[in-house]
Structure 1
């Protein structure tokens, strides 16, 4: 019986190692096959599998197996550690607050969005899945009293996006050749020239949409490289920090504000039982992210993301 349990522990242990190694490799490579795109969301939990393998190998007295599983555990945990470590010293520039929310086909409660703007002294609001009806509801709830300047592309269902700002917006533009319709605008905040973008990448829900999702993220990165001054891209990227496509978009000279703030592994989707952080603020990497955290907005299937940042 002891031999049976030892053999079973070895078999299960190696199975866990193979699964964890495979998924860790997929995380690093950045594939676009729809099944793997979905499975990469579970990458933060690979350490549980590899640690379980360590315990199984230890029980089976397999030094080689335990060593392999331990190295794998260190690797899969190590890539998540930066999410808990804040970057860099304080800047000398002004503080700024940015809120981004996916409005769920325009169903998100506008009064709650405006309350979140008021309660958190938000300077810039980015909204995705912005419909004409949602714009009307936000106006009725008083968004203009708090953030009087806006540029929107309000469209049916999930296609629209919008920006609201405490400071004047200029050069408002819809970005072409995306699955949804991002908008960008310029503003000057306490002497700092900023490019603001409300971005919504295609949801990788089918093989065709997964290809569009991959193209959206790559194209957004290319456009970001053309901007002058400080860049703030807020929205629903439909990608986590474990998707290579997102890591490449948020790589130098840009950074994911949540990672820069050491915000950990909080999730934003689905809102009731979050499994993945799909919503982000990506900034020029000389912006200091003080804190990034989720906020619940009734009737949205995403949690909003509130980022407190300091400009360079």
Structure 2
């Protein structure tokens, strides 16, 4: 009997240890994500929170099968917290009662100008795009886009091409005013902006966003600086939209803080917030993550969001159909 008791006790301890080893990493992830504590290498890791949320049910199932009450409780709370943060992105939300004209806005990262210009022009033409925001925009692709007919489709523009990844551009079907460019303080990516005069709607400021990428720990401070330096919404002033490669997902605290100023993430509002926009599209073995966004003033209704392949780029293009308020 003593040997049997010792064996049973050892089995119980092993089962409890296995449960805690499965539960605690996911629970720690939930704490860092919900508290916005990502720093250093955790910034990159947090981008993959949707995958951790999906897998969070496995430790719970293990604890339930092994009948370990305490680990099961922690696992259940963890799963509910992570799934509660992630799952709503797949469910459309209520929209404001905007009754003005519709604007179709496309944002595309061109990967050092290496994206196929014909594919982008075809996308603008077939999807009837009104405003195009581009990042990693070079002089060569600017010339090729115009040669392929973009100038006739979107004749108004504020273009600032540069070699490498820092160029930025804004194209529009409607007239632009108060246009210009600014350079981020953390990492020298440029961001073109302008005010679009959409007939029947109030003036709409649009900016092509491109904060620093947290590709290494040493540039994470630049990432924080650039995200915090993005223009906040002006919920009692001019309508505004930020569209581009934010190098951040909705699981990153600085992006959530920016949205909280008065924006809504268009894909999240349309129930398309889990569609990947960067990752394996140039052959890298990286699970897709959602770092390209259209942030719209909360007075703008989001009708639909689509994610389109863009050959030659490691990003997908994001198209948002927006219903603007009526001009007063």
Match of 1:70 among 55, 73, 76: 76
Alpha-carbon distance in structure 2 between the residues aligned to 1:9 and 1:236: 45
Residue 303 (str. 1) matches residue 287 (str. 2): no
Question: In the alignment, what sits opposite 1:133?
Answer: 140
SS in 1 for 2:190: coil
Question: Which of these two proteins has the greater Rg computed from alpha carbons?
Answer: 2
| Partner residue in 1 for 2:170 | 163
Aligned pair count reads 311
Cα distance in 1 between the residues matched to 2:63 and 2:99: 52
Give ranges in structure 2 of 5+ residues lacking alignment: 1-6
1:56 aligns with 2:62: yes
Aligned match of 1:91: 98
Quote the offset at 1:281 in angstroms: 0.3
Indicate which of 291, 307, 318 corresponds to 1:294: 307
CA RMSD of aligned residues (A): 2.0
CA 1:109–1:2: 2 relative to 1, 3 Å: farther
Q: TM-score, normalised by structure 2?
A: 0.89
Contact 2:309 2:316 in 1 (8 A): yes
Equivalent residue runs for 1:269-288 within 5 Å? 269-272=278-281, 274-288=287-301
Identify if the C-alpha distance between structure 1 residues 196 and 6 changes in structure 2 by more than 3 Å, giving closer, same or farther. same
The CA deviation at 1:16 is 2.5
Structure 1, residues 159-179: CA drift from partner, whole Å, max 9, x if none? 001000000111211113432
Partner-residue secondary structure (3-state), 1:79 = helix
Secondary structure in 2 matching 1:245? helix
Aligned to 2:213: 203
Q: Name the structure 1 match of 2:191.
A: 182
* Residue 35 of structure 1, CA deviation: 1.1
Kindly indicate whether residue 164 of structure 2 is the aligned counterpart of residue 151 of structure 1. Answer: no
Per-residue deviation, residues 234-259 of structure 1 (Å, max 9, x unmatched):
10000001101111111241111111
TM-score (norm 1): 0.93
Contact kept in structure 2, 1:195 and 1:227, CA below 8 Å: no
1:236 to 229, 245, 268: 245
Name 1:13's counterpart in structure 2.
19
Once the two structures are overlaid, the 10-residue window that deviates more, 3-12 or 293-302, is 3-12
* 2:142 counterpart of 1:104: no
1:80 maps to which residue? Answer: 86
Q: Does 1:218 align with 2:228?
A: yes
Name which of 253, 257, 273 aligns with 1:248. 257
Moved more, 39-48 or 103-112: 39-48
Q: Which runs of 5+ in 1 are unaligned?
A: none
More displaced stretch, 297-306 vs 11-20: 11-20
Q: Residue 162 of structure 2 aligns to a residue in which SS?
A: coil
Instruction: Give the Cα–Cα distance (whole angstroms) in 2 for the partners of residues 177 and 199 of structure 1.
Output: 10
TM-fit CA distance, 1:55 = 1.4
Mapped contact 2:306–2:318 kept (Cα < 8 A): yes
**Residue in structure 1 matched with residue 275 of structure 2 by the alignment:** 266
In 1: Cα distance, 2:11 partner to 2:323 partner: 57
Bigger mean CA deviation after superposition, 147-156 or 200-209: 200-209
Residues 196-250 of structure 1 show CA distances to partners (whole Å, capped at 9, x for unaligned) of 101111111123321111111101044x449942111110000001101111111
Which secondary structure state, in structure 2, belongs to the residue aligned with residue 106 of structure 1? coil
The 1:86–1:48 alpha-carbon spacing in structure 2 relative to 1, beyond 3 Å, is: closer
Q: Deviations over 1:101-152 (max 9, x none)?
A: 0000000011110000011000000000000111011111110111111001
Correspondence for 2:53: 47
Deviation at 1:5, TM superposition (A): 6.1
User: Whole-Å Cα distance in 1 between the matches of residues 15 and 265 of structure 2?
Assistant: 40
